[in-house]
Amino acid sequence: MIDRTDLPRMRRWVVKIGSALLTAEGQGLDRQALRGWVDQMADWLEQGERELLLVSSGAVAEGMCRMGWQRRPETLHELQAAAAIGQMGLVQAWESCFSRRGRHTAQVLLTHDDLSDRRRYLNARSTLRTLLDLGVVPVVNENDVVANEELRFGDNDTLAALVANLVEADLLVVLTDQAGLFDADPRQVPGARLVEHARVDDPRLDGYASGSRGALGRGGMATKLRAARVAARSGTATLIASGREPAVLQRIARGEAVGTLLVPAQEPHAARKRWLAGQLQVRGRLVLDEGAVKALRDQGKSLLAVGVKGVQGNFSRGEVVACVDPQGREVARGLVNYSSEEAARIQGQPSNNFENILGYMDDEELIHRDNLVLV
Protein backbone atom coordinates (compact mmCIF):
# COMPACT_ATOMS: atom_id res chain seq x y z
CA MET A 1 0.00 0.00 0.00
CA ILE A 2 1.18 3.52 -0.80
CA ASP A 3 2.73 5.46 2.08
CA ARG A 4 4.58 8.75 2.46
CA THR A 5 7.91 7.24 1.45
CA ASP A 6 6.41 6.87 -2.05
CA LEU A 7 5.59 10.57 -2.43
CA PRO A 8 9.09 11.76 -3.48
CA ARG A 9 8.92 9.36 -6.47
CA MET A 10 5.55 10.58 -7.74
CA ARG A 11 6.06 12.55 -10.95
CA ARG A 12 2.58 13.61 -12.10
CA TRP A 13 0.49 15.72 -9.73
CA VAL A 14 -2.91 17.34 -9.89
CA VAL A 15 -3.04 20.26 -7.45
CA LYS A 16 -6.43 21.70 -6.47
CA ILE A 17 -6.56 24.99 -4.57
CA GLY A 18 -9.83 26.03 -2.96
CA SER A 19 -11.65 29.37 -2.89
CA ALA A 20 -10.96 30.00 0.80
CA LEU A 21 -7.23 30.09 0.04
CA LEU A 22 -7.41 32.05 -3.19
CA THR A 23 -9.56 34.93 -2.06
CA ALA A 24 -8.60 37.88 0.11
CA GLU A 25 -11.40 37.99 2.68
CA GLY A 26 -14.04 38.42 -0.01
CA GLN A 27 -12.03 41.08 -1.84
CA GLY A 28 -11.28 39.02 -4.93
CA LEU A 29 -8.14 37.05 -5.61
CA ASP A 30 -5.23 37.14 -3.18
CA ARG A 31 -2.47 37.61 -5.75
CA GLN A 32 0.31 37.50 -3.19
CA ALA A 33 -0.89 34.06 -2.09
CA LEU A 34 -1.06 32.95 -5.72
CA ARG A 35 2.56 33.96 -6.24
CA GLY A 36 3.57 31.92 -3.21
CA TRP A 37 1.93 28.72 -4.50
CA VAL A 38 3.29 29.28 -7.99
CA ASP A 39 6.80 29.57 -6.58
CA GLN A 40 6.30 26.27 -4.76
CA MET A 41 4.90 24.56 -7.87
CA ALA A 42 7.66 25.95 -10.09
CA ASP A 43 10.35 24.85 -7.62
CA TRP A 44 8.89 21.34 -7.62
CA LEU A 45 8.70 21.20 -11.43
CA GLU A 46 12.32 22.28 -11.74
CA GLN A 47 13.57 19.31 -9.72
CA GLY A 48 13.32 16.81 -12.55
CA GLU A 49 10.96 15.19 -15.06
CA ARG A 50 7.76 16.26 -13.37
CA GLU A 51 4.31 17.26 -14.59
CA LEU A 52 1.63 19.30 -12.85
CA LEU A 53 -1.98 20.22 -13.58
CA LEU A 54 -3.66 22.93 -11.55
CA VAL A 55 -7.38 22.87 -10.74
CA SER A 56 -8.24 26.33 -9.50
CA SER A 57 -11.31 27.59 -7.73
CA GLY A 58 -11.92 31.30 -7.37
CA ALA A 59 -13.71 32.32 -10.58
CA VAL A 60 -17.06 32.95 -8.90
CA ALA A 61 -15.41 34.77 -5.98
CA GLU A 62 -13.44 37.00 -8.37
CA GLY A 63 -16.58 37.70 -10.37
CA MET A 64 -18.46 38.63 -7.20
CA CYS A 65 -15.70 41.05 -6.27
CA ARG A 66 -15.67 42.66 -9.70
CA MET A 67 -19.45 43.12 -9.57
CA GLY A 68 -19.48 44.29 -5.96
CA TRP A 69 -21.70 41.41 -4.80
CA GLN A 70 -21.54 40.57 -1.10
CA ARG A 71 -23.35 37.22 -1.27
CA ARG A 72 -22.71 34.19 -3.41
CA PRO A 73 -25.47 33.98 -6.06
CA GLU A 74 -28.01 31.20 -5.65
CA THR A 75 -29.48 30.90 -9.14
CA LEU A 76 -27.57 28.96 -11.80
CA HIS A 77 -27.56 31.76 -14.39
CA GLU A 78 -26.16 34.25 -11.85
CA LEU A 79 -23.45 31.79 -10.82
CA GLN A 80 -22.58 31.23 -14.47
CA ALA A 81 -22.38 34.96 -15.06
CA ALA A 82 -20.16 35.46 -12.01
CA ALA A 83 -17.89 32.63 -13.15
CA ALA A 84 -17.61 34.08 -16.66
CA ILE A 85 -16.69 37.50 -15.28
CA GLY A 86 -14.25 36.13 -12.73
CA GLN A 87 -12.59 33.65 -15.08
CA MET A 88 -10.88 36.53 -16.86
CA GLY A 89 -9.09 37.70 -13.72
CA LEU A 90 -8.37 34.16 -12.51
CA VAL A 91 -6.58 33.10 -15.68
CA GLN A 92 -4.71 36.38 -15.96
CA ALA A 93 -3.51 36.03 -12.36
CA TRP A 94 -2.16 32.49 -12.85
CA GLU A 95 -0.56 33.34 -16.19
CA SER A 96 1.15 36.38 -14.71
CA CYS A 97 2.51 34.43 -11.74
CA PHE A 98 3.77 31.48 -13.78
CA SER A 99 5.35 33.73 -16.43
CA ARG A 100 7.57 35.16 -13.68
CA ARG A 101 9.02 31.66 -13.39
CA GLY A 102 9.36 31.12 -17.13
CA ARG A 103 6.34 28.82 -17.37
CA HIS A 104 3.47 28.93 -19.83
CA THR A 105 -0.07 28.10 -18.74
CA ALA A 106 -3.13 26.96 -20.69
CA GLN A 107 -6.76 27.42 -19.76
CA VAL A 108 -8.81 24.20 -19.91
CA LEU A 109 -12.56 24.40 -19.26
CA LEU A 110 -14.47 21.13 -18.87
CA THR A 111 -18.01 19.93 -18.24
CA HIS A 112 -19.16 16.54 -16.99
CA ASP A 113 -20.31 15.81 -20.52
CA ASP A 114 -16.74 16.20 -21.79
CA LEU A 115 -15.61 13.32 -19.59
CA SER A 116 -18.62 11.05 -20.08
CA ASP A 117 -18.59 11.22 -23.89
CA ARG A 118 -15.79 8.91 -25.05
CA ARG A 119 -14.79 10.95 -28.10
CA ARG A 120 -14.51 14.14 -26.06
CA TYR A 121 -12.85 12.22 -23.21
CA LEU A 122 -10.06 11.09 -25.52
CA ASN A 123 -9.73 14.55 -27.04
CA ALA A 124 -9.42 16.13 -23.58
CA ARG A 125 -6.92 13.46 -22.53
CA SER A 126 -4.80 13.97 -25.65
CA THR A 127 -4.82 17.75 -25.24
CA LEU A 128 -3.80 17.60 -21.59
CA ARG A 129 -1.03 15.10 -22.29
CA THR A 130 0.29 17.26 -25.11
CA LEU A 131 0.33 20.30 -22.84
CA LEU A 132 2.27 18.34 -20.22
CA ASP A 133 4.73 17.11 -22.87
CA LEU A 134 5.30 20.76 -23.83
CA GLY A 135 6.07 21.70 -20.23
CA VAL A 136 2.92 23.83 -19.99
CA VAL A 137 0.86 23.97 -16.77
CA PRO A 138 -2.84 23.38 -17.59
CA VAL A 139 -5.14 25.50 -15.41
CA VAL A 140 -8.38 23.53 -15.27
CA ASN A 141 -11.79 24.75 -14.23
CA GLU A 142 -15.41 23.83 -14.76
CA ASN A 143 -17.00 25.38 -17.83
CA ASP A 144 -19.73 26.96 -15.72
CA VAL A 145 -21.04 29.10 -18.54
CA VAL A 146 -22.39 26.18 -20.61
CA ALA A 147 -22.95 23.47 -17.97
CA ASN A 148 -26.50 22.86 -16.80
CA GLU A 149 -27.48 21.32 -13.47
CA GLU A 150 -27.35 17.78 -14.84
CA LEU A 151 -23.87 18.18 -16.31
CA ARG A 152 -22.15 20.12 -13.56
CA PHE A 153 -19.42 18.58 -11.43
CA GLY A 154 -20.82 20.53 -8.49
CA ASP A 155 -17.44 21.26 -6.91
CA ASN A 156 -13.83 21.50 -8.00
CA ASP A 157 -12.79 18.64 -5.70
CA THR A 158 -14.76 16.26 -7.93
CA LEU A 159 -13.40 17.92 -11.06
CA ALA A 160 -9.83 17.53 -9.77
CA ALA A 161 -10.40 13.83 -9.08
CA LEU A 162 -11.78 13.23 -12.57
CA VAL A 163 -8.84 15.09 -14.09
CA ALA A 164 -6.55 12.82 -12.05
CA ASN A 165 -8.38 9.83 -13.59
CA LEU A 166 -8.09 11.38 -17.03
CA VAL A 167 -4.30 11.80 -16.96
CA GLU A 168 -3.55 8.90 -14.58
CA ALA A 169 -1.93 11.18 -12.02
CA ASP A 170 0.21 9.72 -9.28
CA LEU A 171 -1.05 12.16 -6.66
CA LEU A 172 -3.98 14.51 -6.16
CA VAL A 173 -3.10 17.33 -3.75
CA VAL A 174 -6.14 19.15 -2.34
CA LEU A 175 -5.11 22.38 -0.65
CA THR A 176 -7.73 23.80 1.69
CA ASP A 177 -8.01 25.99 4.78
CA GLN A 178 -8.05 22.92 7.04
CA ALA A 179 -5.03 20.88 8.16
CA GLY A 180 -6.60 17.69 6.81
CA LEU A 181 -9.30 15.20 7.78
CA PHE A 182 -9.87 14.89 11.53
CA ASP A 183 -11.71 12.21 13.48
CA ALA A 184 -14.08 14.98 14.65
CA ASP A 185 -14.73 18.58 13.68
CA PRO A 186 -11.71 20.44 15.20
CA ARG A 187 -13.74 23.65 15.33
CA GLN A 188 -16.15 22.01 17.77
CA VAL A 189 -14.05 19.28 19.42
CA PRO A 190 -10.75 20.60 20.88
CA GLY A 191 -9.25 17.09 21.17
CA ALA A 192 -9.93 16.08 17.56
CA ARG A 193 -7.05 14.13 16.02
CA LEU A 194 -5.73 14.43 12.49
CA VAL A 195 -6.11 11.30 10.35
CA GLU A 196 -2.61 11.10 8.90
CA HIS A 197 -2.96 8.00 6.71
CA ALA A 198 -5.88 5.78 5.69
CA ARG A 199 -7.28 3.70 2.87
CA VAL A 200 -10.08 5.45 1.03
CA ASP A 201 -12.41 2.48 1.55
CA ASP A 202 -12.17 2.70 5.37
CA PRO A 203 -15.83 3.14 6.43
CA ARG A 204 -14.83 5.16 9.50
CA LEU A 205 -13.87 8.06 7.25
CA ASP A 206 -17.51 8.77 6.42
CA GLY A 207 -18.18 9.54 10.05
CA TYR A 208 -15.18 11.83 10.24
CA ALA A 209 -15.92 13.96 7.18
CA SER A 210 -17.84 17.17 7.72
CA GLY A 211 -20.28 18.46 5.13
CA SER A 212 -19.77 22.07 6.17
CA ARG A 213 -19.37 24.74 3.53
CA GLY A 214 -17.62 28.06 3.45
CA ALA A 215 -19.16 31.31 2.26
CA LEU A 216 -17.34 31.15 -1.07
CA GLY A 217 -16.68 27.46 -1.70
CA ARG A 218 -19.08 24.70 -2.74
CA GLY A 219 -17.73 21.76 -0.80
CA GLY A 220 -16.59 20.70 2.66
CA MET A 221 -14.50 17.77 3.83
CA ALA A 222 -17.17 15.30 2.67
CA THR A 223 -16.65 16.36 -0.95
CA LYS A 224 -12.90 15.91 -0.53
CA LEU A 225 -13.40 12.38 0.74
CA ARG A 226 -15.67 11.60 -2.20
CA ALA A 227 -13.09 13.08 -4.55
CA ALA A 228 -10.36 10.90 -3.02
CA ARG A 229 -12.51 7.84 -3.70
CA VAL A 230 -13.05 8.91 -7.30
CA ALA A 231 -9.30 9.46 -7.76
CA ALA A 232 -8.59 6.05 -6.28
CA ARG A 233 -10.52 4.36 -9.10
CA SER A 234 -7.52 4.91 -11.35
CA GLY A 235 -4.91 4.35 -8.65
CA THR A 236 -4.31 7.97 -7.66
CA ALA A 237 -3.53 8.75 -4.02
CA THR A 238 -4.96 11.93 -2.48
CA LEU A 239 -3.35 14.25 0.06
CA ILE A 240 -5.55 16.82 1.80
CA ALA A 241 -3.55 19.58 3.49
CA SER A 242 -3.65 23.20 4.56
CA GLY A 243 -2.50 25.60 1.88
CA ARG A 244 -1.44 27.97 4.64
CA GLU A 245 1.27 25.62 5.91
CA PRO A 246 4.72 27.02 5.02
CA ALA A 247 6.26 25.33 1.96
CA VAL A 248 3.44 22.78 2.02
CA LEU A 249 4.08 21.38 -1.48
CA GLN A 250 7.79 20.89 -0.84
CA ARG A 251 7.02 19.15 2.44
CA ILE A 252 4.53 16.85 0.71
CA ALA A 253 7.10 16.06 -1.98
CA ARG A 254 9.66 15.12 0.70
CA GLY A 255 7.18 12.75 2.33
CA GLU A 256 6.83 14.74 5.55
CA ALA A 257 3.90 14.12 7.87
CA VAL A 258 1.65 16.92 6.68
CA GLY A 259 -2.10 16.63 6.04
CA THR A 260 -4.10 13.46 5.42
CA LEU A 261 -2.90 10.86 2.91
CA LEU A 262 -5.75 8.74 1.49
CA VAL A 263 -4.57 5.82 -0.61
CA PRO A 264 -6.27 3.39 -3.02
CA ALA A 265 -7.14 -0.09 -1.81
CA GLN A 266 -5.29 -1.53 -4.83
CA GLU A 267 -1.92 -0.92 -6.39
CA PRO A 268 -2.11 1.87 -9.00
CA HIS A 269 -1.67 -0.33 -12.09
CA ALA A 270 -4.34 -2.83 -11.02
CA ALA A 271 -6.71 -0.04 -10.01
CA ARG A 272 -6.37 1.75 -13.35
CA LYS A 273 -7.01 -1.42 -15.33
CA ARG A 274 -10.01 -2.30 -13.17
CA TRP A 275 -11.37 1.23 -13.58
CA LEU A 276 -10.99 1.02 -17.35
CA ALA A 277 -12.54 -2.44 -17.49
CA GLY A 278 -15.53 -1.20 -15.52
CA GLN A 279 -16.26 1.40 -18.19
CA LEU A 280 -16.36 -1.02 -21.05
CA GLN A 281 -19.40 -1.68 -23.29
CA VAL A 282 -18.25 -3.30 -26.51
CA ARG A 283 -19.38 -1.56 -29.73
CA GLY A 284 -17.43 -3.64 -32.24
CA ARG A 285 -14.56 -6.05 -32.83
CA LEU A 286 -11.08 -5.90 -34.31
CA VAL A 287 -9.67 -9.17 -35.66
CA LEU A 288 -5.91 -9.31 -35.02
CA ASP A 289 -3.12 -11.33 -36.58
CA GLU A 290 -0.93 -13.52 -34.39
CA GLY A 291 1.82 -10.92 -34.19
CA ALA A 292 -0.55 -8.30 -32.82
CA VAL A 293 -1.96 -10.78 -30.30
CA LYS A 294 1.54 -11.54 -29.06
CA ALA A 295 2.41 -7.83 -28.87
CA LEU A 296 -0.64 -7.15 -26.69
CA ARG A 297 -0.54 -10.23 -24.52
CA ASP A 298 3.17 -10.79 -24.00
CA GLN A 299 4.79 -7.38 -24.55
CA GLY A 300 2.18 -4.92 -23.24
CA LYS A 301 2.21 -2.98 -26.51
CA SER A 302 -0.36 -0.65 -28.01
CA LEU A 303 -2.51 -1.98 -30.84
CA LEU A 304 -1.31 -0.78 -34.24
CA ALA A 305 -3.46 -0.86 -37.36
CA VAL A 306 -0.84 -2.92 -39.19
CA GLY A 307 -1.77 -5.89 -36.98
CA VAL A 308 -5.52 -5.73 -37.71
CA LYS A 309 -7.02 -8.13 -40.29
CA GLY A 310 -10.69 -7.25 -39.96
CA VAL A 311 -13.13 -4.69 -38.55
CA GLN A 312 -16.62 -5.69 -37.37
CA GLY A 313 -19.45 -3.53 -36.09
CA ASN A 314 -20.22 0.17 -36.22
CA PHE A 315 -18.33 2.30 -33.70
CA SER A 316 -17.05 5.84 -33.25
CA ARG A 317 -13.75 7.19 -31.99
CA GLY A 318 -13.53 6.75 -28.23
CA GLU A 319 -15.93 3.82 -28.01
CA VAL A 320 -14.96 0.39 -26.73
CA VAL A 321 -14.09 -2.48 -29.04
CA ALA A 322 -13.06 -6.07 -28.43
CA CYS A 323 -9.76 -7.34 -29.83
CA VAL A 324 -10.00 -10.99 -30.96
CA ASP A 325 -7.43 -13.47 -32.24
CA PRO A 326 -7.72 -15.18 -35.66
CA GLN A 327 -9.91 -17.89 -34.06
CA GLY A 328 -12.36 -15.29 -32.71
CA ARG A 329 -11.26 -15.55 -29.05
CA GLU A 330 -11.28 -12.26 -27.17
CA VAL A 331 -7.84 -11.03 -26.15
CA ALA A 332 -8.42 -7.48 -24.96
CA ARG A 333 -10.79 -4.52 -24.90
CA GLY A 334 -10.00 -0.87 -25.26
CA LEU A 335 -10.93 2.65 -26.31
CA VAL A 336 -10.38 2.98 -30.04
CA ASN A 337 -8.81 6.08 -31.59
CA TYR A 338 -10.58 5.77 -34.97
CA SER A 339 -14.12 5.04 -36.11
CA SER A 340 -15.09 1.71 -37.69
CA GLU A 341 -15.09 3.30 -41.15
CA GLU A 342 -11.62 4.78 -40.61
CA ALA A 343 -10.30 1.56 -39.03
CA ALA A 344 -11.48 -0.48 -42.02
CA ARG A 345 -9.57 1.81 -44.37
CA ILE A 346 -6.29 1.73 -42.40
CA GLN A 347 -6.34 -1.93 -41.27
CA GLY A 348 -3.09 -3.67 -42.13
CA GLN A 349 -1.38 -0.34 -42.78
CA PRO A 350 1.60 1.25 -40.97
CA SER A 351 0.83 4.55 -39.27
CA ASN A 352 2.94 6.55 -41.73
CA ASN A 353 0.33 5.71 -44.41
CA PHE A 354 -2.64 7.08 -42.44
CA GLU A 355 -2.39 10.58 -43.83
CA ASN A 356 -2.28 9.33 -47.42
CA ILE A 357 -5.33 7.14 -46.83
CA LEU A 358 -7.45 9.33 -44.55
CA GLY A 359 -6.06 12.76 -45.26
CA TYR A 360 -5.00 13.13 -41.60
CA MET A 361 -3.48 11.19 -38.70
CA ASP A 362 -4.96 11.75 -35.24
CA ASP A 363 -3.01 9.00 -33.43
CA GLU A 364 -0.33 6.51 -34.40
CA GLU A 365 -2.04 3.73 -32.45
CA LEU A 366 -5.44 2.23 -33.11
CA ILE A 367 -5.70 1.65 -29.33
CA HIS A 368 -3.09 3.06 -26.94
CA ARG A 369 -1.88 0.63 -24.29
CA ASP A 370 -3.05 2.99 -21.54
CA ASN A 371 -6.60 2.55 -22.87
CA LEU A 372 -6.34 -1.22 -23.24
CA VAL A 373 -7.10 -4.03 -20.79
CA LEU A 374 -6.41 -7.73 -21.36
CA VAL A 375 -9.28 -10.15 -20.76
CATH assignment of the domain containing 285: 2.30.130.10
Do 108 and 18 share a structural domain?
yes
Candidate from 81-90, 127-136, 153-162 with smallest mean pLDDT: 153-162
Whether residue 239 is found in the same domain as residue 195? yes
What is the percentage of the chain residues whose pLDDT exceeds 90? 54
193 and 174 in one domain?
Answer: yes
Residues 199 and 307 in one domain: no
Please check whether residues 249 and 231 belong to one and the same domain. Answer: yes
Q: In what order do the strands lie in the sheet with 260-263?
A: 105-110, 137-142, 51-56, 12-17, 171-176, 237-242, 260-263, 197-199
Residue 218 predicted with pLDDT over 50: no
Number of domains within the chain: 2
Query: Residues 320, 324, 329, 335: what is their CA dihedral angle, to the nearest 10 degrees?
Result: -20
In this structure, are 92 and 216 located in the same domain?
Answer: yes
Please write the tens of the pLDDT for every residue from 257-274: 999 999 998 776 666 566
Out of 14-23, 101-110, 288-297, 366-375, which region has the weakest mean confidence (pLDDT)? 366-375
Output the pLDDT for position 293. 96
Q: What is the pTM of this model?
A: 0.77
CA 38 distance to own-chain centroid: 19
For residues 257 and 316, membership in a common domain is answered with no
Q: Which helix (H) or strand (E) holds 277?
A: helix 268-278
Three-state DSSP class for 297?
Answer: helix
Whether 247 and 288 map to the same domain: the answer is: no
**CA 137 to CA 102: how far, in whole Å?**
11
Regarding whether 347 and 231 lie in a shared domain, the answer is no
Q: Do 218 and 289 fall into the same domain?
A: no
> Where in the sequence is the domain holding 359, given as residue range(s)?
280-374
Q: CATH number for the domain including 61?
A: 3.40.1160.10
Q: How far apart are CA 221 and CA 342, in angstroms?
A: 46
Let me know whether 346 and 197 are in one domain.
Answer: no
